[in-house]
Amino acid sequence: MSAPESHPFCSSSLIGTGSYVPERIMTNADLEKIVDTTDEWITSRTGIKERRIAADNETTSDMATAAARNAMEMAGVDASEIDLIIVATVTQDMFFPSTACFVQQKLGASNAVAFDMNAACSGFLFALQTARHFLNTGNRRCALVIGAEKLSSLVNWKDRNTCVLFGDGAGAVVLRRNEEEDAPGRVLSTIMGCDGNLTGILKVPGGASAEPITQENVDEQVKSIYMEGKEVFRHAVTRMKEACEQALERAGLKADDVTKVIAHQANQRIISAIVDRLGVPAERTFVNLQKYGNTSAASIPLALDEANRAGVIKRGDILLLVAFGAGLTWASSVVRW
Ligand code: UT7
């Protein structure tokens, strides 16, 4: 077993969480009116009962900014103290500038360097690890790490295979450099992985350089989500379980030590399969996908904030965060709360 991961100079801690979801609720009953589906099918196959849909004029950076403000308020951190903003998203406001630059402007965080990260549904944990490197090496002191998505802008509302799964929202954390060994919220380890051989099974194929929108394909929904659900499911369970084991080993911990698993909120059956294989009791999972569906990069920070504010997680708890998404990408992180 390898030693706990630490940097010779410093480490970093989560000092605040925040989230935001749009007001508009779309229930399974609402979807029954749009596509050939049933509440029974959606609930039994995924666990999802409803999802949030952003207003037409509500952007990913609007949601990201709202979540960030909540996290900063909890952390007691002023915009001027933030020197790094990373926004994990696949639904950026525009191709460029980055969504993170819009967030920087909206927060007035003028001392921050800001950029986006795309690792699909694993994006938040990729961003967390990236921020951690900036902090642990002494380059930056205080980071906002945000996952935010307006997936409703990528959904084909005629495709029942995918449109029932996704929702909009944002979650954020404030991560601060902290030299104290036992500081609360300390990130103990992070694992990341990719398999570019499987880019084809989960993608938005069009609308960018590979297949720009043209007069000819404008009606073909090329700029919407395509997923081979069963294949993605299979890989998700295997990769997420492995990533959990690796992150725990790197932190010098065992599955038994885990207080709460906060997994990417895509499918209740995936979460159940992972914890079952890890040997973690089902009651040690935190699940909110019934309310929000799959919010991609937003799902983990949204669940983390909800668990935190509800008092479900407490100081000293060992949290196991784990994500999986297009790429394929996967990541996991152990945090001592
Ligand atoms: O966030 C990134 C990671 N994403 C994921 O982790 C998602 C992974 N995949 C999944 O969660 C599941 O594969 C789904 C929920 C997407 C699908 O569940 P499934 O048990 O794998 O169903 P399936 O795709 O095998 O479809 C079974 C049947 C099909 O009908 P036939 O061919 O058996 O007659 C589908 O056409 O269910 C049908 N179906 C639906 N029926 C009613 C597919 N979507 C729907 C629907 N309503 N919305």
| Residue 306, domain extent | 1-337
Residues of the chain with pLDDT under 70: 1-10
Which atom in ligand 1 lies closest to the alpha carbon of residue 294?
Answer: 1
Spatial CB neighbours of 120, under 8 Å, sequence gap ≥ 6: 90, 202, 296, 297, 325, 326, 327, 329
Cis check: omega of the bond before 165, within 30 degrees of 0: no
- Choice among 136, 178, 267, 294 that is catalytic: 294
Cis check: omega of the bond before 184, within 30 degrees of 0: no
Angle, CA 116 vertex, CA 26 and CA 78 arms, to 5°: 90
Distance 56 CA to ligand 1 centre (A): 28
Rounded CA separation 205/227 (Å): 11
Pick from 93, 45, 123, 46: nearest CA to 328: 123
Rounded CA separation 267/142 (Å): 33
Helix (H, G, I), strand (E, B) or coil at 259: coil
What is the per-residue pLDDT for 3?
45
Is 264 known to be catalytic? Answer: yes
Distance 23 CA to ligand 1 centre (A): 27
* Residue whose CA lies nearest to ligand 1 atom number 28: 161
Pick from 312, 323, 318, 327: nearest CA to 4: 318
DSSP 194-216: E-GGGGGGEE--SSSSSS---TT
Rounded CA separation 129/152 (Å): 27
What does DSSP say about strands 260-263 and 168-178: parallel, antiparallel, or unpaired? unpaired
Which atom in ligand 1 lies closest to the alpha carbon of residue 236?
Answer: 6
What is the per-residue pLDDT for 10?
63
- Choice among 101, 142, 156, 264 that is catalytic: 264
CATH label of the domain that carries residue 17: 3.40.47.10
What is the per-residue pLDDT for 7?
46
* Residue whose CA lies nearest to ligand 1 atom number 12: 229
Pick from 158, 126, 205, 160: nearest CA to 46: 160
What is the per-residue pLDDT for 88?
98
* Residue whose CA lies nearest to ligand 1 atom number 10: 229
Rounded CA separation 267/206 (Å): 26
Distance 42 CA to ligand 1 centre (A): 9
Distance 154 CA to ligand 1 centre (A): 18
Q: Hey, which of 40, 230, 231, 268 would you mutate to test ligand 1's pocket, going by the most ligand atoms within 8 Å of its Cβ? A: 230
CB 126 within 8 A of CB 118: no
Q: Which two tokens stand for residue 63?
A: 């949601």
Domain count for the chain? 1
- Residues having CB closer than 6 A to ligand 1 are 37, 41-42, 45-46, 121, 160-161, 164, 229-230, 232-233, 236, 266-267, 270, 294, 324-325
What is the per-residue pLDDT for 1?
41
CB 11 within 8 A of CB 5: no
Q: Hey, which of 48, 233, 238, 269 would you mutate to test ligand 1's pocket, going by the most ligand atoms within 8 Å of its Cβ? A: 233
* Residue whose CA lies nearest to ligand 1 atom number 39: 161
